[in-house]
Amino acid sequence: MISIKNLSRSYGRFDAVKNISLEVKKGQIFSFLGMNGAGKTTTIRMLVGILKPSSGSIKIGEYDIIKDIRKAKAITGYIPDRAQLYGKLTGRELLYFTSELYDINFKQANFKIDQLIEEYDLQEWENELIENYSHGLRQRLATCAALIHSPELLVIDEPMVGLDPQGAKTFKESLKKYAKQGTTIFLSTHSLPVAEEISDKIAIIKKGIIIAEGTIDELKSSAGEGTKDLEDAFLQIAISSAKLPQVELDFGDK
Amino acid sequence: MIPLLLKPSLLALKNRWKSSIKRKDRWARDLALISVTVFFILLSYTGGLAFLNSLAEQKAFLFPDPKIIINLALFFLILLLLVSNLVQALSSLYTGKDLDFILSSPITSKRFFIGKYFEILFSTSWMAFIFVLPFLLVLKTFYNLSSIFYIEAFLLLSPLFLIPCSLSICIASIYPLILPKKYSKEVLIVIAIGLFSALIKMLNLVAREIQNVSNNGLNEVADLASVLTFSDKIWLPSYWISSSIAYRINGELGQFYYLVALSVLLAVFLTSLSYLLVKYLHLISFSLITGTSSTKIIESSKFQAKVENYFRMIKRPIRGIIVKDFKLFVRDITQASQAGILLGLSSTYVYILNSQKIFQSTLNVADKNWWSAFLSSSNIGLEAFILVAVSTRLVFPSISLEGGSFWLLHSSPLVIKDILKAKLNSWLVPICLIFGILFTLATLAIHGSLIAAAIKLITTIIICYGIISLAIGLGAFFCNFNWDHSSELAAGLGSLIFMLSAFTLIIFDVGITTIILNSYNGNIIIPRSDAELFNSPWTYLGILMLIIFNVLVNKLALRIGEKSMIRENS
């Protein structure tokens, strides 16, 4: 479903992502882990077509993100880490707006919106202005907006930020459900227990380079004996990769 | 020395300048912008001087009396400043992204006030200053004044900027206490209707007053101009300021210092009052505006079903953006209040039009040709000014207003070109409708024929298309999604460049429209008759030229905007 080849992205003299390659199969939940500033969000922004790669290619399904950008975006849903939404629209109005962006007719949109509002427990809030929503509510609404067109690929940047325990549980369950139905999920997270619980495959990125990739068991075994969980494995791998070439921390104009 | 709250803005400017120096393309762009601004000041100076010299040659005419000329300019300037200050004050005091951070700190109300006061003052006044500067240079040269005039003019013009700023802070401080948030939209509609009715009433009164003026040739025109600018209303601060400049020009220093003192005292009084209101009321007002207790349920399914039924001809994604923009506009008080500018300018236009109608009937035949050409040009110029002012406040910032929510559009299947087209369509229909009707009626009101009115409608629509395209294209070129409050978008360097470009475009458009509507006979311009308009190839050729020219502007502006947005977002 996702095929990334030799992808790089630079900001001035700073290389945020360096020659990475990845393959994600249909229906997989793929977690992208890394420290702050490792290059996760940059990769995600290129994946959803809002940032141009400096070099390399990305294919979503059969569509190239540069050449067939409209088609690639039409089958992708995106939830950013801090989803800013139009405060003067109500939740339902925002979902109508999103459905129109994806060219869904009113009847279908209405049906899907009712379904999503119920699934994400937004019934009490759907007709209130978004400016009155809490961060968690906004995140849930952004999720509904990303799912309105039943995307084949769902890309999520830090999904658990701002969600309460109940919201987080619902969210994890729904991700598993959508993956079972064939939706591919690509998520970046700092929450290692969540990644461990739901991921089929994981990649760890550090300073723009993928330093490890595989299933949870594969990562644990590559981290060495005595590794109890993903957190241990992640820390082991991140520390042992200190021999990576140093990147000059010059952020140029950014 | 520098107010604490202004330091982040100054540091941001410094950092931007530093990063611009590193990037060749941005550095070249900034240099080009500064050059264009300086060029504009020089052009205004030369044009203004030529205009005054031309008026001085009309010996029977009293326009060169400095009081009348200055009053005319300052009256409109102070009105515009008041509206833009009010919008800025509402944004700065209640919706700024920095407010939670600032108000949670142990900052004193004095520091808060000083910071916010200068923020409002600078952001609304710098552009007006650029327009006032050549005006002062023209006066100094035309009336052959000494260089001390610059210092005196600065002293005089300070109240011109301080009074609207302080007054708008006073209004913004008490506004939330008077208007409960729950009913703010309804109350605003009632106020708008009331304001509009009052203006219509005022127009009738003024028109009657003008009709009572005796018919005595060109000198009466000066009297009418005097009525037009309310120069006989001594309670207006614009009267004090313009009169004091006039007294200075005429060398009457006693009167000059008296009016300067009056203006400065009023500015000091209003500034002190605004400080007290901010000190004692701001937190209460801020809590009322930002509180969530007055949430309202908005049912949207039926509206959406109607949109789907009645607007099938518009592509869904484009329609979605238009509907979304409409809802955001009417619900965002800082945006909706900018529509007040539209109301105010349109009313002022109709008001001036009334005077123009009277001008035509009061003139004797000998002076009529010169005045016909002058009034016809000033009418088109005034229309251009209104159109540009409205586009600057409403259309130009529309891309940047997407703010942090732009990711929704950007990650959808729409490309930047589609988004710009949707924005263009959002504004094209309402602007064409409002100005098409207003300017066509205006043509009829000054005794234009039906054919002339129809041509005016067509040319207005084409000109609106060009101006809106330019506003969207340059709005995309100068787009800034990281604003603190929405009103700052119309007060940036980009909007000045848009205004200058739009005026340049309008000069070309007006040139072509003049060729269509008038013929040149000897040294005078005469409006064509209906038969001439119908049969002349210039009419059709002119309209074709206008279409081609504005379509080219559309293509070029949108292309520049699209390229810039792609580059900035990549």
Per-residue pLDDT tens digits for B268-294: 999 999 999 999 998 888 888 776 555
Instruction: Name the least confident of A89-98, A220-229, B347-356, B430-439.
Output: B347-356
- How would residue B534 be classed by pLDDT, with cut points 50, 70 and 90? confident
Work out the burial of residue B495: count CB atoms within 10 Å of its CB; fewer than 13 is exposed, 13-18 middle, 19 or more buried. buried
Task: Provide the mean pLDDT of chain B.
Answer: 77
- A48: chain B residues, CB-CB within 8 Å: 411
Averaged pLDDT, A85-106 = 93
Q: What is the structure's pLDDT at A245?
A: 44
Using only C-alpha atoms, what is the Rg of chain B? 25
Structure pTM?
0.80
> Within 10 Å of residue B377's Cβ, how many Cβ atoms?
14
The pLDDT value recorded for residue A249 is 36
Kindly state the percentage of chain B with pLDDT values over 90. Answer: 14
Least confident of B3-7, B31-35, B192-196: B192-196
pLDDT beyond 80 at A106: yes
Summarize the confidence of residues B479-483 as an average pLDDT: 84
Q: Across B109-123, B232-246, B448-462, which has the greatest mean pLDDT? A: B109-123
Q: Which helix (H) or strand (E) holds B256?
A: helix B253-290
Q: What is the pLDDT of residue A254?
A: 34
pLDDT at position B90, please? Answer: 85
Cβ contact, residue pair B327, A71, below 8 Å = no
Contact assessment for residue A237 and residue A211, using Cβ atoms and an 8 Å cutoff: yes
- Output phi, psi for A162, to 5 deg: 85, -5
What is the model's pLDDT at position B215? 44
Residue type, B251: G
Per-residue pLDDT for A242 more than 60?
Answer: no
| Minimum CA–CA partner of B309 in chain A | A106
The answer to whether B260 touches B107, Cβ cutoff 8 Å, is no
State the nearest Cα–Cα gap between A107 and chain B, in angstroms.
9
B32 falls in which pLDDT band (50, 70, 90)? confident
Cα angle vertex B64, ends B62, B68, to 5°? 80
Q: In this complex, do A127 and B298 lie within 8 Å of one another by their Cβ atoms?
A: yes
Question: What pLDDT sits at residue B570?
Answer: 67
pLDDT at B217: 45
Rounded to an integer, the average pLDDT of A192-202 is 87
β-pairing, A76-79 with A2-11? unpaired
Opening angle at CA A57, ends A52 and A60, nearest 5: 95
Query: Which residues of A lie closer than 8 Å to B, measured between beta carbons?
Result: 48-52, 69-71, 73-74, 76, 78, 80, 82-86, 88-90, 92-93, 96-106, 110, 127-129, 132, 145, 252-253
Q: Helix, strand or coil for residue A153?
A: strand
Suggest the residue from B316, B334, B412 to mutate for an interface test with chain A (most A CBs closer than 10 A).
B412
The pLDDT tens digits for B201-230 are: 555 654 554 455 444 444 444 444 544 444
Residue tagged 């082991």 (tokens): A236
Residues 6+ apart with CB under 8 A from B532: B519
pLDDT greater than 60 at residue A248: no
pLDDT tens across B491-505, in order? 777 888 888 888 888
Contacts of A129 in chain B (CB under 8 A): 295-296, 298, 331
Which of A11, A85, A100, A149 has the most B C-beta neighbours within 10 Å, making it the best mutation to test the interface with B? Answer: A100
Q: Do B569 and A51 make contact, defined as CB atoms within 8 angstroms?
A: yes
**Distance of alpha carbon B226 from alpha carbon B71, whole angstroms:** 8
More confident residue, B533 or B201: B533
Optimal mutation site among B91, B319, B401, B408, interface A, most CBs of chain A within 10 A:
B408
Write down the pLDDT at residue A218.
83
- Among A11, A73, A93, A112, pick the best mutation site for testing chain B contact (most B Cβ within 10 A): A93
Summary count for chain A: helices (H), strands (E)? 9, 10
Report pLDDT for B198. 57
Burial tier of B112 (Cβ tally within 10 Å: 0-12, 13-18, 19+): buried
The percent of residues in chain B predicted with pLDDT above 70, rounded, is 73
Q: Please tell me which residue of chain B has the smallest CA distance to A74.
A: B413
Q: Select from A49, A97, A100 the Cβ nearest to the Cβ of B411.
A: A49
Q: Bridge-partner residues for B123, per DSSP?
A: none
Alpha-carbon span B570 to B567, nearest angstrom: 5
Confidence of residue B192 (pLDDT cuts 50, 70, 90): low
3-state DSSP assignment of residue A23 = strand
A124 neighbourhood in chain B, CB within 8 Å: none
